[in-house]
Structure 1
């Protein structure tokens, strides 16, 4: 198995962050077609692959690059270097990718002498950066505010789990094949790789819509990252209330009720809706008083979720004319 030996101080100082570049590479992976895709990625592909295919029809670089750089069991290192500071912008991440020396970019493809001729040019990092920039600006950025809130809600969920169950509860199953082994050992995958000593380093955990995720590092900056699939239903970006429900309850209150198909804390709802804590709390009080949601304590958190009456209201709002199709 492949595992990292992580120093106690490194783990204690690790951070969860959101990375625009990591999500863009996850989308490139889906477009390349050699990795498994998640349910959110399938929806994203259906909406955006036609634009991608039309833009790069006949391009001699893109398809060979994707086949070489993002293939089963492999992602070129220069595409996945960790962010250097919290909240790093896409442009900062892209500039670092673009600055990769050509020889190093070719080395990171991991193909040795079998690198295709079209990928031997001296501008490989520039062309890769142009590809990444197109996917970000045209296909990812329009939906980024919503995705960012989803990722932030996932981070809240995991940090809540850390406070109640420790690192083993957070890291076990974060991505396929990953689990905490104890004694500072983090199993990264089930491949037969030599152990990696991660001491005196920065360690980041980054959510994406990818089905499996990957790891990345920048040895010069002693920075390491684990990119992981966003938790279950939080990766579903389609939790939008119907027009009828929004007219009845108001758009935000209807959104909160729709999101509460699974238990969520107030902090998670704030992250998912992008709305102030006081506003979310006020809407929850109204929904509680109306008997549409209820709550329970889980560790240090209070979780809210829909009651049968709340479920019935959502079902009724989905029915044309607000009436049941049942006879009688």
Structure 2
């Protein structure tokens, strides 16, 4: 069991964000256990030729057989919605001693031997770190960024929007209860119970947040909430992103005929898709049309009161309004 003690000030300083670097590293879990991440299968197939041009043995070894990840590879975000490039710069500044410590801790906790090429590189942690940074950067640029990240970011943004609503409507207790079945909140303590016996072997951990802030990060590559291995690291909990199964969608959901006749097929299709917040770019990717075409229809739907608009950083997210929900229900 992991327990995080939050005072009033700590609770006020608890915040949500997502990490592109974390998603890149965690995505390597899907290569080890593709059946557990079936909704990512078509994406992995699409970038496999590019992946094969990288240092596959090194990238595969960044995740242990039981999908543990060395803590330094997923540094806690220091800003909301960080860029991959800024996080990679932080990773590149990891002290060599930390690289060795975290790799050994991950494989020791997993109970697996350190594989090659890691075993041979641990004697030269600066070189190992440089290779990790270079290969993760190339993996992002060649495999994840071209198409996958636009869809992934939309799902993560939608999760953050949902969490904001939950906090406003149900408070901290309702928010934490909605994150994941492994998490519970009582009397100022957030508890995380992991079913993995190797995780439980780490023993109970009571962590006063004590002004360090608690960061909660949705991820598309987790079967349950989890935290960092090293108790001395700043508090971070990753949890399964709401709506992550949307990554496996190969075609938009069907549109009710009556609704299509009423407002036209393109706008009806958008109304169906927007049960969760999404950006213009992400919708364009899902529909295989230009962002300009989507934007015109979104503007018309929002003007009619069928959609709401919320700004998330530099991105505008659209979602169905109560009137849009009512229209969709009536047209189904």
Return the TM-score normalized by structure 1. Answer: 0.71
In 1, distance between residues paired with 2:327 and 2:245?
A: 14
Change in 2 beyond 3 A, CA 1:193/1:72: farther
Which residues of 2 match residues 108-127 of structure 1 at below 5 A?
108-109=102-103, 110=105, 111=107, 115-116=114-115, 117-120=119-122, 121-122=124-125, 123-127=127-131
Match of 2:53 in 1: 55
- The answer to whether residue 331 in structure 2 is matched with residue 309 in structure 1 is yes
Aligned to 1:129: 133
Check conservation: 1:256, 1:269, Cα contact below 8 A.
no
- Cα 1:237–1:278 shift into 2, 3 Å: farther
What residue number does 1:78 align with?
72
Listed as ranges, the matches of 1:202-281 within 5 Å are 202-212=213-223, 213-216=225-228, 223-232=234-243, 235-236=246-247, 238=249, 240=252, 249=264, 251=266, 253-260=267-274, 263-264=275-276, 268-269=277-278, 273=283, 279-281=300-302
Match of 1:313 in 2: none
Structure with higher Rg: it is 1
Do the aligned partners of 1:154 and 1:230 also contact (CA within 8 Å) in 2?
yes
Residue 44 of structure 1: how far off its partner (Å): 2.4
The 3 A distance-change label for structure 1 pair 45 and 175 is farther
Contact 1:4 1:197 in 2 (8 A): yes
Choose which of 167, 179, 185 in structure 2 pairs with 1:162. Answer: 167
2:28 equivalent to 1:28:
yes
1:196-222 deviation digits (Å, cap 9, x = unpaired): 2212012222222113253249988x7
Q: Which runs of 5+ in 1 are unaligned?
A: 287-293, 311-328
Q: CA RMSD in A?
A: 3.8
Q: Deviation at 1:36?
A: 6.9
Answer whether contact 1:34 1:71 (CA < 8 A) is retained.
Answer: no
- Residues 296 and 56 (structure 1), Cα distance of their counterparts in 2 relative to 1, 3 Å cut: closer
Unaligned 5+ residue runs, structure 2?
A: 195-199, 284-290, 308-319
Question: Whose strand fraction is larger, Structure 1's or Structure 2's?
Answer: 1
Q: CA deviation at 1:73?
A: 6.2
Deviation at 1:156, TM superposition (A): 1.0
- Are the aligned partners of 1:101 and 1:125 in contact in 2 as well (CA < 8 Å)? no
Q: TM-score with structure 2 length normalisation?
A: 0.71
Aligned mates of 1:114, 1:210 — CA distance in 2: 24
